[in-house]
Structure 1
Amino acid sequence: MDLLLWITVGFIIIGFVVLVSMKKSMEMKVALLKENKESVDGKQISPKPVIWWVWGAVLWGIVSIFLIVWSFSVYT
């Protein structure tokens, strides 16, 4: 197997594992943001980690699609 195929498969599997492992904590943060607009000590809860997680998932998906298309063009 070629290096490009290993990079593609590894990137997709590792990215999927990372996204799934972070999913539960992001769901809890979104629920907390929906429930309370302010935390217990009066500071506002920041939605930035959730936004960064969504952008990371989108970027991972775009790069995965690019790698798959590139692999098909190389191996055909």
Structure 2
Amino acid sequence: MDSLIWLTIGFLIIGFVVLISLKKSMESKLVFINENMESEESSIKTKSIVWWIVSTGAWGIVSIILIVWSFHNHF
């Protein structure tokens, strides 16, 4: 198989593992933010949740590009 396909598969699998492992942590941070709106710590946790969403979106875009590129090169 082509190395680009292996790169794509590896990127997808590692991304899903990281996404799933961090999901529970982000849910607990969201619960904390909802309970403590005025806390300074809630603004820090809000920033980490926003960065998690941005990085998940970036991972999704790169994954789509890699999949399209792999199909374009393979077929």
Q: Same fold per TM (> 0.5)?
A: yes
Q: Which runs of no fewer than 5 residues in structure 1 stay unpaired?
A: none
Q: CA deviation at 1:45?
A: 1.6
**Greater share of helix:** 2
Distance 1:29 1:38 in 2: 14
Offset from partner CA, 1:4-41 (integer Å, 9 cap, x none): 001000000001100100000000001111111134xx
- Whichever residue aligns with residue 50 of structure 1, its letter is I
Which stretches of structure 1, 4 residues or more, deviate above 2 A after TM superposition? none
Aligned residue in 2 for 1:32: 32
Q: Which runs of no fewer than 5 residues in structure 2 stay unpaired?
A: none
Larger Rg over CA atoms: 1
Q: TM-score, normalised by structure 2?
A: 0.91
Q: CA deviation at 1:44?
A: 4.1
Matches within 5 A, 1:3-42: 3-39=3-39
Q: TM-score, normalised by structure 1?
A: 0.90
Size of the aligned set, in residue pairs, is 73
How many percent of aligned residue pairs carry the same amino acid? 56
- Whichever residue aligns with residue 20 of structure 1, its letter is I
